[in-house]
């Protein structure tokens, strides 16, 4: 039974490590982020890239909905009629990445049963895998000067989904992790 719990714990740690989201931010330290109470989208849809996985209107809607919901939780509302404090834009990109599993080695020795025969085998190797990394960059831009005020970026392993609920859940998690840095702690 002791090994059963150990196996479950190990599997959970591996799953948590594989599904990680890495985030970073950059911002203008002169910005008064507490005065930013209204926003508007810089454009109606994301700029076309030519990649149908990125130029997906369903993905665009999920990202925008997650951003609007999380900003509303911070009492920052979308505005269409009045002049907003800042504009929001985002960019999603997919890049090819390589992952190495490190080196592995092994040694073996054997004796024959009919006489003195033996052998030693030594092997080393490294496994390299290719995967796709998705990167979401969210920009908050001054509505008047168009100067960048805040940028948050999140990267994760890109996945194609056969289930819209899973796609929405993962996009929500990505946007939430990026916006957890906003407003920056100055």
Q: What domains can be seen in the chain, in order of their start residue?
A: 21-97+133-179 (3.30.160.670)
Instruction: Per-residue pLDDT tens, the chain, 186 aa: give them.
Output: 555 555 554 444 444 444 599 999 999 999 999 999 999 999 988 889 999 999 999 999 999 999 999 999 999 999 877 899 999 999 999 999 887 776 655 565 556 666 665 566 666 667 788 889 999 999 999 999 999 999 999 999 999 889 999 999 999 999 999 999 999 987
What are the DSSP E strand ranges found in the chain?
Answer: 22-27, 38-41, 77-78, 86-111, 118-142, 148-157
State both tokens at 54. 């990125």
CA distances from 56 to 100, 135, 158 (A): 31, 15, 14
Q: The whole model's pTM is what?
A: 0.76
Burial of residue 73 (number of CB atoms within 10 Å: 0-12, 13-18, 19+): exposed
């Amino acid at each position: 039974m002791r090994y059963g719990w150990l196996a479950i714990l190990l599997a959970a740690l591996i799953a948590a490590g594989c599904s990680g989201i890495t985030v970073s931010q950059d911002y203008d330290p002169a910005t008064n982020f507490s005065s930013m109470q209204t926003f508007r989208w810089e454009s109606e849809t994301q700029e076309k890239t030519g990649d149908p996985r990125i130029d997906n209107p369903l993905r665009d809607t999920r990202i925008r909905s997650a951003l609007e919901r999380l900003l509303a939780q911070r009492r920052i509302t979308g505005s269409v009629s009045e002049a907003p404090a800042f504009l929001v834009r985002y960019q999603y990109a997919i890049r090819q990445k390589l992952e190495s599993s490190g080196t592995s080695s092994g040694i073996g020795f054997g004796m024959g049963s009919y006489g003195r025969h033996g052998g030693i085998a030594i092997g080393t190797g490294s496994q390299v895998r290719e995967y796709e990394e998705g990167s979401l960059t969210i920009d908050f831009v001054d509505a008047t000067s168009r100067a960048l005020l805040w940028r948050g970026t999140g990267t994760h392993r890109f996945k194609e989904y056969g289930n819209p609920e899973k796609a929405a859940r993962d996009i929500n998690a990505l946007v939430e992790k990026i916006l957890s840095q906003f407003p920056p702690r100055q």
